[in-house]
C-alpha cells in the first residue's frame, strides 16, 4: 500500500498533474493540503475518473484539505474536538485545516498547520494553540485504542531540527524553527507517534518560488507524517519526490510518499 502527502498549492490549477502523478506513482491514498477552493469547486471528476474517491473541506482561496483514496474512504471526520477558531473580520471561523478518513483500516489525516506568520503575530499564538489542541485530541484517541493504525500526514509548517532548514541563521527570529513550535511537535513524539519518513527521506520538502531556492536546494523539511506505533511497524520506505517539484507550474512543495507492508 502506498500513501502520500502533498501540499498542492491550489488543486484547481493543478488537478490534472496531481491526478496523473498519483496514478503514475501508484498512490493508493493521497492527503492534500492548500486546495484553495470551496467544496463545490473541487475538481472531483478528475479524481473519480482515475478511480479515487475524495473527501474535501475547503475555504475559498485559502487553506483547504482533502483525501483521495482508491482503497476505501469511510468514517470521514472534518476538524477535531477542541479545534481553535480564527478571528476573521471579527468573527470566529473554524478554518479548513484538518480532515480524516478510514482508508483500508488506517485512519489517515490530512493536516495543514497554521503558518504562524511571525513570532509576534496573533497567528503564531493561534498556531501553537492549534497544535496543542490536536495533540490532546490524538492522545485521547490513542489512549482509547493503542493498537489503532493512524497517520497524521500533511504540511506541519515546523522544521523540527536545524538540519531541516537550509540555513539556520537565515531563519533566526522567524517562525517554523522557534523553540515553542518545535516543542509542540515534540509533544506528539513524546506521546508515542513516530516521524516515519525520517529514516528513509530526511531531505527538504518545500522550496520557496523566489531567489532560485529550488535549484540551490535552499529548502525546508516541513511536510511529513507522524504515525502511531502500530502503523509505523508497517512503513518499509519513504521518499520525497523532487521530480514532482521540478515540473512546470508545480507546487512549491514536493510530495512525500510512504510504502506500507501488507
Show which residues are catalytic. Answer: 112, 155, 253
What DSSP state is assigned to residue 249?
Answer: T
Q: Is 252 annotated as a binding residue?
A: yes
Q: Are 105 and 149 in contact (CB under 8 A)?
A: yes
Q: Which three cell numbers stand for residue 157?
A: 509548517
Query: Degrees (nearest 5) of the Cα angle 37, 39, 42?
Result: 65
Query: What residues form DSSP beta bridges with 150?
Result: 107
Q: Is 7 annotated as a binding residue?
A: yes
Q: How far apart are CA 184 and CA 175, in angstroms?
A: 13
Q: Is 172 annotated as a binding residue?
A: no
Q: What is the DSSP string of 164-191?
A: GBS-TTTTTTSTTSSHHHHHHHHHHHHT
Q: How far apart are CA 112 and CA 148, in angstroms?
A: 22
Q: Is 34 annotated as a binding residue?
A: yes
Binding residues for Mg(2+): 7, 34, 155, 157, 252-253
Binding residues: 7, 34, 155, 157, 252-253
Amino acid at each position: 500500500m502506498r500513501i502520500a502527502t502533498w501540499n498542492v498549492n491550489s488543486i484547481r490549477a493543478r488537478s490534472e498533474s496531481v491526478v496523473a502523478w498519483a496514478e503514475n506513482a501508484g498512490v493508493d491514498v493521497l492527503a492534500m493540503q492548500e486546495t484553495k477552493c470551496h467544496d463545490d469547486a473541487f475538481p472531483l471528476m478528475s479524481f473519480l475518473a482515475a478511480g479515487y474517491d475524495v473527501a474535501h473541506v475547503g475555504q475559498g482561496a485559502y487553506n483547504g484539505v482533502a483525501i483521495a483514496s482508491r482503497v476505501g474512504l469511510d468514517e470521514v471526520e472534518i476538524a477535531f474536538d477542541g479545534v481553535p477558531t480564527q478571528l476573521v473580520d471579527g468573527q470566529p471561523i473554524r478554518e479548513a485545516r484538518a480532515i480524516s478518513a478510514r482508508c483500508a483500516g488506517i485512519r489517515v489525516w490530512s493536516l495543514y498547520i497554521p503558518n504562524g506568520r511571525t513570532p509576534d503575530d496573533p497567528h503564531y499564538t493561534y498556531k501553537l494553540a492549534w497544535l496543542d489542541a490536536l495533540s490532546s485530541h490524538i492522545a485521547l484517541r490513542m489512549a482509547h485504542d493503542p493498537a489503532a493504525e493512524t497517520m497524521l500526514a500533511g504540511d506541519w509548517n515546523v522544521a523540527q531540527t536545524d538540519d531541516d532548514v537550509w540555513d539556520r541563521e537565515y531563519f533566526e527570529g522567524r517562525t517554523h524553527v522557534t523553540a515553542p513550535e518545535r516543542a509542540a511537535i515534540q509533544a506528539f513524539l513524546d506521546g508515542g507517534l513516530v516521524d516515519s519518513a525520517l529514516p528513509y527521506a530526511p531531505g527538504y520538502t518545500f522550496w520557496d518560488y523566489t531567489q532560485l531556492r529550488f535549484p540551490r536546494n535552499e529548502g525546508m523539511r516541513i511536510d511529513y507524517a507522524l504515525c502511531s506505533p502500530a502503523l509505523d511497524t508497517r512503513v518499509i520506505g519513504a521518499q520525497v519526490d523532487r521530480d514532482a517539484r521540478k515540473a512546470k507550474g508545480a507546487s512549491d512543495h514536493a510530495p512525500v510518499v510512504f510504502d506500507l507492508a501488507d
